[in-house]
Chain A
Amino acid sequence: TSATDGLFRINLKRRPLDENNRIAARVTARATESSRSSIRKFGYRGTSSLT
């Protein structure tokens, strides 16, 4: 990082797409789809809010 020009730079690392995270993504996607079905079935409106 450097602030000499008034810009604060943060380096980013990159994670290549690999087979492991793709498999995990599919598992998560299935779980999400299943929870969405439940939401529809019971008419529940989920919230992203302070509990």
Chain B
Amino acid sequence: DGSDTDIVALKNYMDAQYYGEIGIGTPPQKFTVIFDTGSSNLWVPSVKCYFSVACYVHSKYKSSLSSTYQKNGKPAEIHYGTGAISGLFSQDYVKVGDLVVKNQVFIEATREPSVTFLVGKFDGICGLGFQEISVGNVVPLWYNMISQGLVKEPVFSFWFNRNADDEEGGEIVFGGADPNHYKGNHTYVPITRKGYWQFDMGDVLIDGRSSGICSGSCAAIADSGTSLIAGPTATIAEINHAIGASGIVSQECKTVVSQYGKTILTLLLSERQPKKICSQIGLCAFDGTRGVSIGIESIVTENDGSAVGWGDSMCSACEMAVVWIQSQLKQNQTQERILSYVNELCDRLPSPMGESAVDCSRLSSMPSVSFTIGGKVFSLKAEQYILKVGDGPATQCISGFTALDVPPPRGPLWILGDVFMGAYHTVFDYGNMRVGFAQAA
């Protein structure tokens, strides 16, 4: 429903790099699809798609060629943040590896207007999420695999090969996990919100130090359909600062630091409730649990007499400053150093869902970024969270982190995409409603 929009909007199929082959119909018509744990529908382009260029450059399903096709005909539409598809529901056999899933309802897409689907090397998407987020409440392919007794164990697992030199891209295993592709035991955490493969995650550490925002707890989703790791802007700005990634300069952020930085520090030192500080200094209202924007446009006059306006972003900037200052205080930094550091962080704020470039020659000096899951620390080295684009002297390095802000109670939320799942072999255990991570091999 509408409340899920923020999360679906994250899906960045443009960068999703791992895809496999399935067959639909009898005889099977082949399609390349992304196996996506962040959605729950299966869709492929339809031969009845006439007005979208994307359909002309991808394989298309033709029901008349299939002896097992059954008409459904209900209209369907899925809105992703990076595009939308629409079409009709149909029903047919779906071949996944050696498995044949009978009577699977899927979407024949007749419109794919987004450039995302035009440029994508994949034809469609195979959702491996829960039925709760399935458009049209369609029974997902994975559910039918289980109910039709095709797999012994209700478990599937992902291995992404992050070695760019290898031809093999990775492997999805239905029915269990391949011991050749992980080391040691998996650490399992329970699913906390059925729909997505969502679980509770602890602190995020930068070079072993707490970044603050998840020191209580954060929600996280294991999402094979997203390339990068997405998390709260405040933490991504800290990571950007630590790895030297470029950011956008936020005037609101700098204003909060210069005008209210000392006050925030004083209030934190006097052990006021951190969540109430921004409302106490008048930048946010307080809704009982956290600061919320007061929705007032403020106008200040610059020295040259020009008027500068700012809006609700002052509240967000203040809340970030509180988290940063609090985290620095815990590290016993001096007040002067804290304010200087926080001011520097304002220069490192990431563009929402944007990419950040870093200096390739500095990889060896970049810190590890770690995620606490099930009480264990899962670290990523720079080589694991920096993506390289191009070859030789033209190589560019892109940070594997991007910003996504989901407010409480659903957030703060982290999306652990391929960058994380590449480092850690991931088991999706439907039978026990849990997700497990182990070092990938």
Binding site for B on A (CB under 8 A): 1-3, 5-22, 24-25, 27-29, 31-33, 36, 45-51
Contacts and interface: CB of A to CB of B under 8 A. Distances in A.
B295 interface: no
Given A25-B14, A28-B14, A28-B82, A7 B173 contact: yes
Contact of B389 (A12, A17, A27, A45): A17
- Interface size bracket, B side: 35 or more
Contact of B17 (A1, A17, A29): A17
A1 B22 CA distance: 12
A9 B5 contact: no
Given A17-B227, A47-B2, A48-B8, 19 more contacts: A6-B175, A7-B178, A8-B98, A10-B21, A10-B35, A10-B173, A11-B170, A11-B171, A12-B172, A14-B161, A17-B389, A20-B119, A22-B355, A22-B389, A25-B15, A29-B82, A46-B2, A46-B5, A49-B1
Nearest to A6: B152
Interface string B1-24: 110110011001011011111000
A9 B169 contact: no
B14 A24 contact: yes
A45 B2 contact: yes
A6 B116 CA distance: 36
Tell me if A's interface is mostly helix, strand, loop or mixed. Answer: mixed
Query: Among A12, A15, A33, which residue has the most Cβ atoms of chain B within 10 A?
Result: A12
Contacts of A20: 119
B75 interface: yes
Contact of A29 (B170, B353, B389): B353
A50 B75 contact: yes
Interface in B47-82: 74-79, 81-82
B110 to A, nearest CB: 12
